[in-house]
């Protein structure tokens, strides 16, 4: 099997990078924070500085979603305009970063993000996946915007896991995956963000296997 040069943009966990490397590919992660597993195969810097570091065949990108998610829309309401005057620029910067990655000069690209404004600002995602479709019993809606890549095929459909129901401070009844709610317990905001951003193992394995096989087949057919 041919070895691919693979960039995992904005990944600190090494979850997807490690799955590609297990398959024998030259995979590197990149983030402004250190790799959790202290891997040598990690660029700790702005990913825009490494887009041309190698002749990448494939990029999987996870641009920060803080200012892109639907859940963040409330901070753009008129009542918060004076309290958070920088929000519009932060959102536009996030959109620009997303699009810079999408338009990178790399032949095969997948960008992952939660459900958010890119569906209207850019276009709807090619696919929305869940961990429970790939063997992990958890609910987490993940959008994939694809460039020259196929939709992922489900590998092992299991239960959606546990959910909790609660009432918000405004008296609104809500339902939330238990794993997501548990991230609030005894953790700092930074650690909660990391827990929620890590890619589940089943999805990481499917991305590495299915995308690498597809890219290699495309190369063989050239």
- pLDDT given for residue 85 in this prediction: 72
- pLDDT given for residue 129 in this prediction: 98
Mean pLDDT per 10-residue segment, the chain (222 residues): 92 97 97 95 97 95 88 63 76 95 98 94 97 95 97 97 80 78 72 81 98 95 80
Residues 6+ apart with CB under 8 A from 78: none
Q: Is 62 exposed, middle or buried (0-12, 13-18, 19+ CB in 10 A)?
A: buried
pTM comes to 0.90
The CATH-assigned architecture of domain 5-220 is 3-Layer(aba) Sandwich (3.40)
Q: Would you state the structure tokens that stand for residue 6, as one six-digit string?
A: 């693979």
Alpha helices in 122-185 (DSSP H): 178-182
Task: Determine contact, residues 84/73, Cβ cutoff 8 Å.
Answer: no
């Amino acid at each position: 099997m041919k070895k691919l040069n693979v960039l995992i943009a904005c990944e600190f966990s090494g979850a997807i990078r490690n799955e590609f490397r297990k398959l024998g590919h030259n995979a590197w992660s990149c983030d402004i924070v250190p790799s959790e597993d202290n891997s040598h195969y990690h660029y700790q810097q702005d990913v825009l500085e490494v887009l041309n570091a190698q002749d990448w065949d494939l990029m999987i990108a996870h641009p920060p979603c803080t200012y892109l998610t639907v859940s963040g829309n409330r901070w753009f309401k008129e009542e918060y305009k004076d309290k958070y005057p920088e929000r519009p620029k932060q959102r536009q910067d996030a959109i620009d970063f997303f699009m810079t990655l999408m338009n990178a000069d790399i032949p095969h690209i997948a960008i992952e993000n939660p459900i958010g404004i890119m569906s209207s600002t850019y276009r709807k995602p090619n696919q929305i996946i869940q961990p429970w479709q790939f063997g992990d019993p958890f609910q987490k809606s993940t959008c994939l915007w694809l460039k020259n890549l196929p939709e992922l095929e489900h590998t092992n459909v299991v239960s959606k896991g546990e959910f909790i129901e609660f009432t918000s401070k405004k008296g609104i009844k809500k339902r939330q995956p238990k794993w997501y709610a548990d991230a609030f317990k005894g953790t700092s905001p930074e650690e909660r963000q990391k827990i929620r951003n890590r890619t589940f193992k089943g999805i990481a394995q499917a991305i590495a296997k299915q995308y690498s096989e597809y890219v290699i087949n495309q190369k063989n057919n050239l």
